[in-house]
Amino acid sequence: MANDPTALSPLHIEVATQYAPEHSEPAKGVYLFLYTITLRNHGDDTLKLERRHWFITDGNGERSEVEGPGVVGETPTLSPGTQYRYTSSVTLPTPVGTMQGFYTLSCNGQEVRAPIAPFSLSQPGTLH
């Protein structure tokens, strides 16, 4: 699943998700999902990822927010034409859910938001 770059941000965002059964306990309502995000700088300026803000919705419609500096303990800098990839995880109480949000980047001393379009998280066999 991929997001189109926005007019405000030259950052292209691609997301791949995966259910992690070895770290999940469905009988206890614990479903762990991995998500790998690839960020590509298609612009002419250097970008630094300063913060992330996630909106996570489980299969019951319960919504939570996660916000903080960088990603996976890093605040990567992307020069023009480069990419950065990371993998993180989220635990849900249901076998399906969604995530969306935005990254806050600095570019030439200005703050820019790059939206992350909604993407699905689902245990195999739960969505038709």
Confidence of residue 3 (pLDDT cuts 50, 70, 90): very low
Domain range annotation of the chain: 2-122
The fourth-level CATH superfamily of domain 2-122 is ApaG domain (2.60.40.1470)
pTM: 0.88
Checking phi first, is residue 115 left (phi over 0); if not, alpha (psi -120 to 50) or beta? beta
Please tell me the distance from the alpha carbon of residue 49 to that of residue 114, in angstroms, as a whole number.
Answer: 10
41-97, pLDDT tens digit by residue?
Answer: 999 999 999 999 999 999 999 999 999 999 999 999 999 999 999 999 999 999 999
CB atoms within 10 A of CB 81: 10
Size (the chain), residues: 128
Cα–Cα distance measured from residue 50 to residue 70, given in angstroms and rounded to the nearest whole number: 5
- Average pLDDT (25-52) is 96
pLDDT tens-place string over residues 112-126: 999 999 999 999 987
